[in-house]
Structure 1
């Protein structure tokens, strides 16, 4: 009997040590949890028993709601998972979901999020239209978007909350109510608190690639972006990095950022691509 109890206790201890952490997924714009059915199967096959939550909120056209409102809801749902899993969770966010997750993490004290996997997300903003839409609009359309997005009336539209026009820097900083304060590029009374929360992450995984066709520039998925001449400024030369505005440099210098650049993957295929999963995601879901 004593031997049996010892074996049972050992089994329970090993389960606690080797059990996979829960995974929470935040979908992208015009999407919903069903788009991750294939991805969930990949996770389940690779890591049986993983507790997976694909948050159902702001599906389809509702994903155009203002980002601060979305942050509040998604944070509440993530907190519910964290409360039941104090050992920590992993958070995977796709496309616009990554911008939401940045706000979620920044405003969530003691969030217990071990790894934030950002899957093709416009982390420093978007300045461009998708390949599909390009053929239907005039070439200079994006140059005029700021006239709409940088107004109070349209800051209630999610895309406008991360529209980052490199030629309209002053208007971006003044009128965009989401990304500049999140980056601590403009005054934010909670900047130190938000930075502290961001730095609680144990690992930040940045996944993107040149054939994405939606995220523009695609380097935004790795905290790169255009300068005023539309030259790409990589993450480590960005002002927010050099000033460590929200903790990006601290994360980098402590070896907690892993970047993956994968060619040949279109934007809508990232979460269904087995190679992307095997190389960039599965190793971090332990």
Structure 2
């Protein structure tokens, strides 16, 4: 039974999680616009640790625990909530869903705003804004060591870094993404929790300009040894074998892939997107 069936026709609180290298207040543009449209909605804005630096220098497991504290310390979420994650915050929301939905305040709907739901990679043939400002030797060192235990435990983005040139290392040493994708072994709790929401609402766009590949927002991934060829959701191994419930959710009509038509940084401020595309997807009666 879907958790969402417990709250049919009842609007629930909406929890927001900000992006990488940012703070909770940067979500105020979205939140304020939604609050004006629906003054009675309960909107909760979560922070990870001390904000921007902790999104990088805190393990993703610890970040998800911080998100969990924000959600579960608020009594309004105890009967369920809608999780809205922007960029890296969308990955944290996905991790919360699969890690905690059976034991803590339940997410009833997942909404990703240009979230790297299927991982992220850049920097060999493609331009990489995360690393391009670093000295070349340091950039190379990070690339060569990103699947080392120390990196996976201490640098948040490494947990969803899916390197198409090092897929064997990724599968063996990824601290989060390969686990919640059930790539190597099947964790039935992760699969059950993933499927416990009423739907997945996935906003992405070819105009994104930051998430690589942009199709990660729709569970697409780079093909092996390529930063140009993309394997779309339905063609992935994990989809075909339904390792974590993606195929079941899609065949049940519970996945919405929506082209936002905007670039990555516009999600927080683009009034037409917020009013015409996002707001309707946050109504539980739909």
- What TM-score bracket applies, with the shorter chain setting the length? 0.7 to 0.9
Q: Secondary structure at the match of 2:149?
A: coil
Rate the CA distance shift 1:234–1:143 in 2: closer, same or farther, 3 A: farther
Q: How far does residue 255 in structure 1 lie from its aligned partner after superposition?
A: 0.8
**CA separation in 2, counterparts of 1:17 and 1:252?**
21
Contact 1:146/1:165 (8 A) holds in 2: no
Counterpart residue number, 1:282: 279
Structure index of larger Rg: 1
Matched, 1:38 2:32: no
**CA separation in 1, counterparts of 2:8 and 2:61?**
37
Q: Secondary structure at the match of 2:171?
A: helix
Deviation per residue, 1:101-134 (Å, 9 max, x gap)? 1110111216432211100111111111566568
Counterpart residue number, 2:69: 76
Counterpart residue number, 1:193: 189
Structure 1 or 2: more helix by fraction: 1
User: Which of the numbers 212, 232, 239 marks the counterpart of 2:208?
Assistant: 212
**CA separation in 2, counterparts of 1:135 and 1:179?**
24
Map 1:225-244 → 2, pairs under 5 A: 225-230=221-226, 231-244=229-242
Counterpart residue number, 1:104: 96
Structure 1: tracts of 5 or more residues without a match: 1-15
Rate the CA distance shift 1:168–1:131 in 2: closer, same or farther, 3 A: closer
Counterpart residue number, 1:48: 39
Counterpart residue number, 1:92: 84
Contact 2:203/2:260 (8 A) holds in 1: yes
Contact 2:115/2:217 (8 A) holds in 1: yes
Which stretch of the first structure deviates more once superposed, 107-116 or 267-276?
A: 107-116
Structure 2: tracts of 5 or more residues without a match: 1-6
Contact 1:21/1:285 (8 A) holds in 2: no
Counterpart residue number, 2:3: none
Map 1:6-45 → 2, pairs under 5 A: 20-45=11-36
Q: What is the number of equivalent residue pairs in this alignment?
A: 267
Q: Secondary structure at the match of 1:121?
A: coil
Matched, 1:120 2:100: no
Deviation per residue, 1:200-234 (Å, 9 max, x gap)? 10011001111212100100011001111431111
Report the aligned-residue RMSD.
2.6
TM-score by length of 2: 0.85
TM-score by length of 1: 0.85
**CA separation in 1, counterparts of 2:82 and 2:11?**
10
Matched, 1:149 2:151: no
